[in-house]
Chains A and B, each alone.
Chain A
């Protein structure tokens, strides 16, 4: 049985697949015997293979943890952005500041320096609200409700 044409009907990829299959179908004990016959340290191989696979499991868990942390941070940022959105109109922003000063002690303390919040310029109202937001004065989680009846 010899090759009767100059060109093989097999390509390199098929040869690779054929070689892989001989390991895939082999009983593990045959491969162990071959490795021992070749003088390989099979106990060492076993330890190395197990460590490599267990490392891969640990890597996956760390990636999962990292992804969970990333998702948590992203969600927190989104929530913060939502909380820190100022109303579009100047009158709504002024109302927000006046209402907050009336009901929230932290806001009241900060705005106490202004004699009358109604006389503040629109720009000052916006600036005051942004400062208060940066300070977390409107953070509901930090200060759920402050009705001043302590």
Chain B
């Protein structure tokens, strides 16, 4: 029996700083627009949770991650645009997750005490505190809407765009993109174009960022 010859293949080369620089210089107009759209979208969505993020900051972080080795670029496998779009997506996810973490550690005095039965009893601070929300907090709470209220508002924005309204409604039902495409007999391009119309409608309505939800 013949043994299979083991062919050792060299790993795909990883691009260095010079190659990254050359690829940036060679970006086409269309590719540049795509990258900006991705970074602007991420910055807009992050604006809900993270203070003052702009597309430049996201580009800077993306390039830094590629050059310092946190993300390896293998030009034979993916082009620079594909790589940067993926990195921007990771940055958005990570920063969004970081923003969810509590800013201040929980102090021991803030932890609820419990009686011998294990039932929670208010600690001294809780006993002394006026637990009614302050005027400022009350104002913020009044201004915040629920996620459902936000989605209802969004559905109204899309009422003039039958396809967008249908896609959004299906998303709310938990239907995934590929299933929606099949059900509505849409190709990827038609589906994505409708979704980008939603994206533009949202930004047009809330140019400074979507309202926070409680």
Contact = CB atoms under 8 A, between A and B. Distances in A.
Do A and B make up one complex?
yes
Contact of B188 (A25, A28, A40, A50): A25
Chain A, interface SS category: helix
Interface centre among A9, A16, A25, by most B CB within 10 Å? A16
A12 B200 CA distance: 17
Contacts of B89: 20, 24
A29 interface: yes
Interface string B188-214: 110111011011101000000000010
Interface string A45-63: 1101110111111011100
B203 to A, nearest CB: 10
B17 interface: yes
Contact of B24 (A8, A43, A57): A57
A7 B152 CA distance: 11
A18 interface: yes
A40 B36 CA distance: 12
A31 B63 contact: no
A35 interface: yes
Contacts of B21: 54, 57
Interface string A74-109: 000000000000000000000000000000000000
Nearest to B45: A16
A30 B194 CA distance: 12
Given A3-B169, A28-B81, A32-B33, A23 B41 contact: yes
Contacts of A19: 41, 45, 195, 198-199, 202
A23 to B, nearest CB: 5
Contacts of A38: 200
Contacts of B161: none
B195 A22 contact: yes
Contact of B151 (A1, A8, A25, A29): A8
A20 B24 contact: no
A149 interface: no
A42 B33 CA distance: 7
B29 A43 contact: yes
Interface stretch (B6-14, B109-117, B136-144, B172-180): B172-180
Interface of B: 17, 20-21, 24-25, 27-38, 41-42, 45, 55-56, 59-60, 62-64, 67-68, 81, 85, 89, 92, 96, 147-148, 150-151, 166, 169-174, 177, 188-189, 191-193, 195-196, 198-200, 202, 213
